[in-house]
C-alpha cells in the first residue's frame, strides 16, 4: 500500500466524497533562447478538473464574485538538463482583492500529500484565505507527477479497486506473499505507464519548480504557505535558496530528521493519540456515546469490528464490500479532522449493524476515489514522490522485526502502518536520501506552527523542523488543538499570528502558545 497520505482532508458528507492520463507537455521549450524564466503565462478561465485531478466541476466563483484563472508553466523535465525536454505544470490563481499599492506579491500554497492537486484544493478552501488575499494573489499548483502536471499513472480504476481492498495486514505466509505480489504489481505498472516522469518527481525537483514559478510570477522573494508535506517542500526550498525566502508559513509540520521508518512509527503514535482523543470526546458528551460505554470500550469495539471484517467483510458501497483494510483506512481518514468525528461515530454505529457504506466513503476519500468509480492519481503520485525521495527499502523480515514496536505504539493501527513500509521495496527509481535536508542559514524567518493533536504530522516535528532550519530561521508557534493543521482550525490566536506575519511582517514571539 502507498504510505499514508499527509494531505489535508476536504469536507465531505455521508452521501458524497469530495475530494490527461498521459505525460503532458513534453517537448522543446518555446522561449526564444531556452530561458524558461522569461516565459509569459497565459491565464484563462479554469477548465473542469481532469480525471487525474479528481474530476468534478470547474471552481466556483470567488467570494467577491471574481473568477479563478489557470495557466500552464513550462519547466524542465530534468533539472540536470534545463534546456532539454519540458513538462507543463498547471497553476491556479485568485487575484488580490485589495488595492494594487498594498499588494505584496503571490502567496504560493502546497497542500501536502505528497500527491495532492493544489489546483483543486485551493478553491475548496478559498474562504479560509480571504484575509490573505487582501495583499496577495493566491496561487497554487499541481506539482510534477500530480493532476495535470505530467501525472504519474499506475493502474486503472478496476485494478485500484482491488488494490485498496487487499489484506494489508497479512496473518500468514500466503497472505504475505499475496501482499508482496500485489505491491510489486502496482510498482511494476507505475514503471510501465510512467517510466519517463518517475526519475524526476523528487522534492528537490519540485523545489526548483517553485523557484522558477517565483520568477515567472515576477516576485523577488518566494512567499509561501506549506501544509503537511508542503512544509517539507518548503524546507527543501529554503535549503536550496535561503536568500530567496520571503514570508513563509509551515503548518502541520513534517519532521525532517526522520527516515521513512521513523516517520511511519511517528504517524502510528499520532493516529493512536487521535483515536484516544476521539474516544474520550465521544464518552464525555452529555448524551450517551452510541459506540461505547467508556473510551476503552469504544476502542475495544473498533478492534473487534476490524477482526470480524478480516474474516467476513460486510456490504460497503455496492457492489464493493467493506474489508478490514478499507475500514482501517476509513477510520484513519476520519481522524485527520475533528470535524469528521461525527461521521466516524455514525459510520461505526452503522457498521456494527452490518452497513459499511460510511466507512467505505471515508476510505474512498483517503484513496482519491469518486462516487462514479474513477480515481485521481493521488495514490500513484504519493508513491512515486515518496519512493523517489526515500532511500531506505524495507523487506518483510524488517517489517516482522518492527511489528512489536508498531503494535506497542498502536494496537489498532500498528500492523497496518508497519506493513505500509514495503511500498517502495520494488520501486524502479532509487531513493535520494534517508531524510530531507532543510538547513537554511541566511533565510528570512519562517513561521513553524505545530498542533499538539495532529495525527499525521505529530507535534514533535515542529520543534525538529525549527532546529533543522537553523538558529534564527524557524520561529515556533504551538496550537493546543485537534486535527491535521492549525490555521484552518479557525483558532483566532493562530490566525491572528499567521495573518500578522504574512500580511504585515510581524514575527510572533518564539514559543507562542495558542489554545
Question: Which is catalytic among the residues 264, 337, 484, 488?
Answer: 484
Q: Once rounded to an integer, what is the mean pLDDT over residues 498-513? A: 97
Note the pLDDT tens digit of each residue in 137-150. Answer: 999 999 999 999 99
Confidence of residue 268 (pLDDT cuts 50, 70, 90): very high
pLDDT for the residue numbered 13: 31
d(CA 441, CA 438): 10
Q: Which residue has the higher pLDDT, 31 or 169?
A: 169
Least confident of 2-11, 220-229, 371-380: 2-11
pLDDT for the residue numbered 286: 78
pLDDT for the residue numbered 4: 52
Write down the mean pLDDT value for the chain: 93
How far, rounded to the nearest angstrom, does the alpha carbon of residue 503 sit from its chain's CA centroid? 25
Answer yes or no: 223 catalytic. no
* pLDDT exceeds 80 at position 101: yes
pLDDT for the residue numbered 3: 46
CB 376 within 8 A of CB 117: yes
Q: Once rounded to an integer, what is the mean pLDDT over residues 65-82? A: 96
pLDDT for the residue numbered 2: 39
* Joined grid coordinates for residue 415: 500492523
pLDDT for the residue numbered 287: 86
Q: Once rounded to an integer, what is the mean pLDDT over residues 335-352? A: 97
Least confident of 19-23, 71-75, 121-125, 267-271: 19-23
Question: Which is catalytic among the residues 106, 117, 121, 228?
Answer: 228
pLDDT for the residue numbered 19: 31
- Ramachandran region of residue 9, left (φ > 0), alpha (ψ -120 to 50) or beta? beta
Answer yes or no: 454 catalytic. yes
Calculate what percentage of the chain has a pLDDT beyond 90. 92
CB 341 within 8 A of CB 358: no
Q: CA angle, corner 321, sides to 316 and 327, nearest 5?
A: 70
Give the bridge partners for 314, in sequence order. Answer: 322
d(CA 446, CA 256): 15
Confidence of residue 41 (pLDDT cuts 50, 70, 90): very high
pLDDT for the residue numbered 478: 98
d(CA 155, CA 188): 10
pLDDT for the residue numbered 63: 86
* pLDDT exceeds 80 at position 26: no
pLDDT for the residue numbered 450: 97
Answer yes or no: 149 catalytic. no
d(CA 330, CA 304): 16
- Asked if omega into 114 is within 30° of 0 (cis), the reply is yes
Amino acid at each position: 500500500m502507498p504510505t499514508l497520505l499527509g494531505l489535508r482532508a476536504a469536507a465531505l458528507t455521508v452521501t458524497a466524497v469530495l475530494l490527461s492520463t498521459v505525460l503532458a507537455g513534453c517537448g522543446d521549450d518555446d522561449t526564444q533562447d531556452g530561458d524558461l524564466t522569461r516565459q509569459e503565462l497565459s491565464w484563462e478561465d479554469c477548465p473542469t478538473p481532469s480525471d487525474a485531478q479528481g474530476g468534478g466541476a470547474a471552481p466556483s466563483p470567488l467570494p467577491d464574485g471574481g473568477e479563478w484563472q489557470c495557466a500552464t508553466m513550462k519547466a524542465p523535465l530534468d533539472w540536470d538538463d534545463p534546456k532539454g525536454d519540458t513538462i507543463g505544470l498547471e497553476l491556479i490563481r485568485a487575484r488580490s482583492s485589495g488595492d494594487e499599492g498594498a499588494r505584496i506579491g503571490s502567496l504560493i500554497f502546497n497542500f501536502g500529500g505528497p500527491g495532492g492537486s493544489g489546483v483543486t484544493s485551493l478553491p475548496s478552501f478559498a474562504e479560509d484565505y480571504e484575509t490573505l488575499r487582501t495583499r496577495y494573489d493566491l496561487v497554487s499548483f499541481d506539482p510534477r507527477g500530480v493532476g495535470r502536471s505530467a501525472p504519474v499513472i499506475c493502474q486503472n480504476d478496476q485494478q485500484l479497486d482491488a488494490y485498496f481492498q487487499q489484506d494489508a495486514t497479512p496473518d500468514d505466509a500466503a497472505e504475505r506473499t499475496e501482499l508482496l505480489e500485489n505491491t510489486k504489481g502496482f510498482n511494476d505498472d507505475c514503471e510501465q505507464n510512467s517510466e519517463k516522469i518517475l526519475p524526476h518527481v523528487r522534492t528537490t525537483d519540485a523545489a526548483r519548480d517553485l523557484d522558477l514559478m517565483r520568477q515567472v510570477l515576477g516576485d523577488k522573494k518566494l512567499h509561501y504557505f506549506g501544509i503537511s508535506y508542503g512544509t517539507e517542500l518548503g524546507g527543501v526550498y529554503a535549503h536550496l535558496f535561503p536568500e530567496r525566502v520571503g514570508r513563509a508559513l509551515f503548518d502541520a509540520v513534517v519532521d525532517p530528521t526522520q527516515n521513512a521508518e521513523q516517520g511511519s512509527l511517528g504517524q502510528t503514535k499520532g493516529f493512536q493519540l487521535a483515536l484516544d482523543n476521539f474516544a474520550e470526546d465521544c464518552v464525555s458528551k452529555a448524551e450517551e456515546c452510541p459506540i461505547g460505554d467508556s473510551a476503552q470500550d469504544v476502542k475495544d469495539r473498533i478492534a473487534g469490528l476490524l477482526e470480524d471484517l478480516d474474516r467476513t467483510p460486510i456490504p460497503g458501497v455496492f457492489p464493493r464490500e467493506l474489508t478490514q483494510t478499507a475500514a482501517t483506512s476509513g477510520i484513519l481518514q476520519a481522524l485527520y479532522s475533528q470535524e469528521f468525528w461525527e461521521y466516524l461515530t455514525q459510520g461505526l454505529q452503522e457498521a456494527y449493524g452490518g452497513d459499511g457504506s460510511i466507512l467505505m466513503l471515508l476510505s474512498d476519500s483517503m484513496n482519491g476515489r469518486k462516487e462514479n468509480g474513477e480515481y485521481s492519481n493521488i495514490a500513484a503520485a504519493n508513491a512515486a514522490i515518496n519512493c523517489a525521495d526515500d532511500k531506505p527499502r524495507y523487506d518483510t523480515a524488517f517489517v516482522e522485526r518492527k511489528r512489536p514496536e508498531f503494535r506497542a505504539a498502536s494496537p489498532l493501527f500498528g500492523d497496518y502502518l508497519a506493513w505500509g513500509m514495503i511500498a517502495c521495496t520494488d520501486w524502479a527509481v532509487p531513493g535520494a536520501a534517508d531524510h530531507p535536508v532543510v538547513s537554511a542559514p541566511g533565510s528570512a524567518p519562517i513561521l513553524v506552527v505545530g498542533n499538539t493533536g495532529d495525527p499525521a504530522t505529530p507535534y514533535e516535528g515542529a520543534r525538529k523542523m525549527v532546529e533543522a532550519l537553523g538558529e534564527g530561521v524557524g520561529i515556533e508557534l504551538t496550537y493546543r488543538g485537534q486535527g491535521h493543521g492549525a490555521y484552518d482550525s479557525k483558532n483566532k490566536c493562530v490566525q491572528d499570528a499567521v495573518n500578522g506575519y504574512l500580511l504585515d511582517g510581524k514575527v510572533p514571539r518564539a514559543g507562542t502558545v495558542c489554545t
